[in-house]
Amino acid sequence: MTMGKGKLKQLAKDCLPPLVTRLLRAQLGKNKAIDFSGDYASWEDAMAASSGYDGPGILNKVKEATLKVKNGEAAFERDAVVFDHIEYSWPLLAALLWAAARNEGKLNVLDFGGSLGSSYFQNRKFLSSLPDVKWNVVEQEQFVQCGRDYIQDKQLRFYLNADECTRENKANILLLCSVLSYVPNWRQVLEALLKLKIPLVLIDRTPFILNAKERIAIQRVPEWIYPASYPCRFLEESQLLDVFTKAGYELHEEFPALGDANIASAHKGFIFKLANK
């Protein structure tokens, strides 16, 4: 008797201890890992050699995964992949709760590049105990339209740009989770956001080059997630810290973040506080 892959997968899930299934999933993930390659002279060169971010397949995959989480069919979504358990970034959650604690329990997040609300859904179990939560995602136009049509509710909203968001909200924390590496002019984007003078800024899941200058590579996503390739920048940590210092922010904490790459780098996170705030 033959057994299909789906039945084998379900059988393994039913019979094997959770630890074993997680280890198997991790090993499979290594065999189908996201690949980074190249050392491009400019962002434009890397864009010309890749398919880009705006393919409809990417949005559809993210939408499907996010709706499963929203509807309780999956526990967690990241980069269009669903999980049966939540992988928390505890420093991220701590920063969110700290922002709320500084504002009588009220949390108002400007989540720049926040997809369809991945970080909101990741942390909503803990955030639900707060008296007031507003989570505002600023994204590409097609993601904003999809979010408004299928995802948003009273707490989770979607905006086309930071100015539109701040006209309606007074954010007490700016979230930049796995985003600065994927914008063409990260310094200009960050400087513009810091001019908003949001009291706290949280950076998470961002790759920094080790013992080298900033590097622009191409990230290739395994086809089992979605077939795509796009530029990714490995930042220099000193350059990032310099931008915050010049904008009047103090480094409150730094931490190792989720993520890895086949380029000598470290994924890190930072919590910054506006001086005298």
pLDDT for res 126: 97
pLDDT in tens, 151-168: 999 999 999 999 999 999
Judge whether residue 118 has pLDDT over 90. Answer: yes
CATH 3.40.50.150, applies to 34-274: yes
**How confident is residue 227, by pLDDT bands cut at 50, 70 and 90?**
confident
pLDDT in tens, 152-208: 999 999 999 999 999 999 999 999 999 999 999 999 999 999 999 999 999 999 999
Whether the Cβ atoms of residue 42 and residue 216 lie closer than 8 Å to each other: yes
Every domain of the chain and the residues it spans: 34-274
Rounded to an integer, what distance in angstroms lies between the CA atom of residue 180 and that of residue 184? Answer: 9
Virtual torsion, Cα 59, 207, 217, 144, nearest 10 deg: 20
**CA 45, 46, 52, 53 torsion: positive or negative?**
negative
Question: What residues pair up with 83 in beta bridges, in sequence order?
Answer: 76
| 240's tokens | 């990032």
pLDDT in tens, 14-24: 444 444 433 33
Rounded to an integer, what distance in angstroms lies between the CA atom of residue 250 and that of residue 238? Answer: 14
Output the pTM of the full model: 0.87
Judge whether residue 38 has pLDDT over 50. Answer: yes
Q: Report helix, strand or coil for 253.
A: strand
Whether the Cβ atoms of residue 143 and residue 59 lie closer than 8 Å to each other: yes
